[in-house]
Amino acid sequence: MTSDQQTTNTDYDYLIKFLSLGDSGVGKTSFLFQYTDGKFDGKFITTVGIDFREKRVNYRPPGQDTQSGRAQRVHLQLWDTAGQERFRSLTTAFFRDAMGFLLVFDLTNEQSFLNVRNWISQIWSSNYSGQLQLHSYCENPDIVLCGNKCDLENLRCITVDRAKDFADKNGLQYFETSAATGQNVDKAVEALLDAVMKRMEKVVDKSSFPARTPVTDNGNATTKVSENEKHDNSDCAC
């Protein structure tokens, strides 16, 4: 998967929306900044409400070699939510449109790990209650759990085994990441993209995609009618 800066705004095959969530200060904004720009800033500027980043990637399913068919051009919209409680009703309103979730906790902060369970409930109650049967895409939300700040090894209070055990019991993929060094940041996003693309392919096989594609203009999401071949699930509850 490589970033592709040369394409025009609508020159893509798939528009994929991911959303980061987790307690305030766990490193969601830093994680996304590292993913999109390869940079890290040690200052803490808490996110107010919701923010937004974008990146283009070329996607090939794992195992597909570069000779067999062209890569899918993916436009990633990355929604960065505020972890602070006072923004909760605003941010959870965005959960509904996300196709996948980057659920982040801080390996040096026990409470942020304990709260992962609550964040999972928020995803389910915001997105999926009563809608499970409507869209085959949405039978289970794709969630990747990130134990962030793994560069701070001497401050760690959540062991790898404890986090992995939780992830396994809850059917989540788990990565130990560092927004500071970049460790596993790309891998975590790629794993989520792979899970979502696999799910999308199943839906395409069933020819059940809606023909609406949201596009963005200066960070503001708008919706336009597009060609059928641009795949998006904006009518979907997830």
Q: Angle at the Cα of 182 (from 177 to 188), degrees rounded to 5?
A: 50
> What DSSP state is assigned to residue 86?
G
**Shortest Cβ distance from residue 119 to ligand GTP (Å)?**
12
Other beta carbons within 10 angstroms of residue 138's beta carbon come to 19
Token output for 133: 């049967």
Kindly state whether residue 29 participates in binding Mg ion, applying the rule CB under 5 A.
Answer: yes
Print the binding letters for residues 67-86 with ligand GTP: x by CB under 6 A, - otherwise: ---------------xxx--
Kindly state whether residue 112 participates in binding ligand GTP, applying the rule CB under 6 A.
Answer: no
Q: What is the rounded (10 degree) CA torsion for 219, 223, 227, 233? A: 90
**H/E element, 32:** helix 28-37
Kindly state whether residue 179 participates in binding ligand GTP, applying the rule CB under 6 A.
Answer: yes
Between 25 and 214, name the residue whose CB sits nearer to ligand GTP. 25
Is 15 in a helix, a strand, or coil? strand
The one of Mg ion, ligand GTP, none whose footprint includes residue 42, by CB under 5 to 8 A per kind, is: ligand GTP
The one of Mg ion, ligand GTP, none whose footprint includes residue 214, by CB under 5 to 8 A per kind, is: none
The Cα 129–Cα 132 span in angstroms is 7
Kindly state whether residue 47 participates in binding Mg ion, applying the rule CB under 5 A.
Answer: yes
The one of ligand GTP, Mg ion, none whose footprint includes residue 188, by CB under 5 to 8 A per kind, is: none
**Shortest Cβ distance from residue 90 to ligand GTP (Å)?**
13
